[in-house]
Amino acid sequence: MVEEGSRNNIILGGGLAGLSAAYHSGIPLYEALAKPGGTAASLDEQGFVFDLGIHVLQSKNVYFLELLDKLGVRLITHSRSGWIYSNNSYFPYPFQVNTSHLSFISRIRCIVGFLFSKGENGTSANYAEWILKNFGKGFADTFLTPYAKKFWGVSPETMTFDWTGNRVPRPNFFEVLKGAFKDQETKLGTHVVFQYPENRKQGFGAIAHAIAKNVHTIHYGMRATAIDPVSRTVFFNEGGEKASYKKLISTLPLPDLLSLLPDVPDNISQAIKSLKCNSIAVINIGVNTPSLSSKHWVHFPEPHISFFRISFPANFTDGLARPGTSTVQAEVSYLGKKPDPANLFNAVKEDLIRVGILSKDMEIVFEDIIFLPYGYVIYDHVREESVKRIHDYLRGIQIYPCGRYGTWEYLWSDQAVLSGKETVEQLSLDESSNNSSFD
């Protein structure tokens, strides 16, 4: 099979970025797995549908939303029921405007620290300083710093803050003061209103399926295992099959892509080694109880709880759990070695009981653990320079990276789709302005 001898542009990876690149260009796509979606796929087993970590949409991009509409992806809109658990109680997200559960002393520390914080003007040396300048020491110590350490797996001192955007919202003083006396559900921060595909059986994966249905050529089960940049050939499945290319659009994580190339210069190998990303273990549980919670998700900043976040997938759309059952999904972040699945499952289950979500007498009817080796790209002080160096090298050998792990950025799903579209548009611009580059 495969386009041996003929030279086409080709795409590697059938997540949202690769699918979008293929949809917007007609270029053939090669995906390692047997189905589309990558990180935005969903699993459907024994009547339980789970996404790979919580996935919801908050896109305001008109093009993206119109594309979903055109492809027949109907969306349900929800008002956020997002929560935080600390000091043995649940209170609405975000923490900054909900501190009434804290001791009087802690509340005063948060309020006074915030009062004297001047806000940030883009000059902080790192994320820890950014937190202090925006929120003060009280908020830093009680929530933002411990949550950052738990979520990213690294100290905020080692991180930059260019990824924050509206992800870490700064309220006004009145909101902070009010929240110190009364819990309040506010419109502050991300996902105040969010959307989720209505399709009852495909979960968030409905988006990838809808794009894939409209892509001309997808070769599934084609894992790229080597690339020869001189003959411009991709070898799949340990050399069993190959495809030659003029230009290669890759949505593979940069470290994986570079590991397929021979003779990578030392300075590029060094740059690759410097890239950091956390990994996420996703623990999926189904119980024989009709409704575990009416919440959408909960953040857990405290280090003695194993997960940083749980969510209740069956609350996003109907049909994601068997009748009479419900589900909870826990996410645990780690760096390096994969945790032992049995130990992790036990720890998560015990913690779910401790925080009052599961009880000992509940019957667990489904359990599963998925390990995502690439979770959230860590924005440290060398990331930007390293990514630039790697991208320059790749473009020099006609490889065009895109998507969340090709750009090595904190991209949401809609941004991954736009990344694929923009890459093929840029490529066709380059090709029409310089035809000789195909040779």
Ligand X SMILES: Cc1cc2nc3c(=O)[nH]c(=O)nc-3n(C[C@H](O)[C@H](O)[C@H](O)COP(=O)(O)OP(=O)(O)OC[C@H]3O[C@@H](n4cnc5c(N)ncnc54)[C@H](O)[C@@H]3O)c2cc1C
User: Can you give the binding site for ligand X, defined by CB under 6 A?
Assistant: 12-18, 30-33, 38-40, 53-57, 223-224, 251-252, 256, 280, 372, 375, 403-405, 411-413, 416
Nearer CB in complex with ligand X: 55/349: 55
Nearer CB in complex with ligand X: 49/140: 49
Give the three-class secondary structure for 243: strand
Query: Smallest distance, Å, CB 180 to ligand X?
Result: 29
* Lookup result for tokens 């320059």: 392
Q: For residues 48 and 289, is the Cβ–Cβ distance under 8 A?
A: no
Nearer CB in complex with ligand X: 16/110: 16
Q: For residues 18 and 251, is the Cβ–Cβ distance under 8 A?
A: yes
Residues 6+ apart with CB under 8 A from 218: 14, 22, 28, 29, 30, 31, 36, 212
CA-nearest of 81, 44, 45, 74 to 311 is 81
Query: Smallest distance, Å, CB 234 to ligand X?
Result: 8
Q: What are phi and psi of 143, to 5 degrees?
A: -140, -55
Query: Smallest distance, Å, CB 291 to ligand X?
Result: 22
Nearer CB in complex with ligand X: 251/315: 251
Nearer CB in complex with ligand X: 90/235: 235
The partner residues of 89 in beta bridges, in order of sequence, read 86
Task: Retrieve residue 304's tokens.
Answer: 């003695």
Nearer CB in complex with ligand X: 132/212: 212
Residues 6+ apart with CB under 8 A from 171: 94, 96, 97, 179, 186, 188
Query: Smallest distance, Å, CB 375 to ligand X?
Result: 5
How many Å separate Cα 396 from the centre of its chain? 29
- CA 286 – CA 44 distance, rounded (Å): 12
CA-nearest of 14, 12, 16 to 35 is 14
Query: Smallest distance, Å, CB 128 to ligand X?
Result: 23
* Stretch (H or E) spanning 218: strand 218-219
- CA 209 – CA 202 distance, rounded (Å): 8
Residue 119 vs residues 115, 116, 160, 260, 382: alpha-carbon distances, Å: 10, 9, 16, 45, 25
Query: Smallest distance, Å, CB 36 to ligand X?
Result: 7
Query: Smallest distance, Å, CB 31 to ligand X?
Result: 5
Alpha-helix residue ranges (DSSP H) falling in 140-265: 145-152, 173-179, 206-213, 254-259
Nearer CB in complex with ligand X: 52/140: 52
Nearer CB in complex with ligand X: 14/203: 14
Task: Retrieve residue 16's tokens.
Answer: 């949202």
Task: State the chain's maximal CA–CA distance in angstroms.
Answer: 73
- CA 96 – CA 91 distance, rounded (Å): 11
CA-nearest of 180, 157, 277, 280 to 148 is 157
For 99-116, give the DSSP string: -TTS-HHHHHHHHHHHHH
Query: Smallest distance, Å, CB 420 to ligand X?
Result: 7
Nearer CB in complex with ligand X: 107/309: 309
Query: Smallest distance, Å, CB 411 to ligand X?
Result: 4
Query: Smallest distance, Å, CB 194 to ligand X?
Result: 8
Nearer CB in complex with ligand X: 140/402: 402
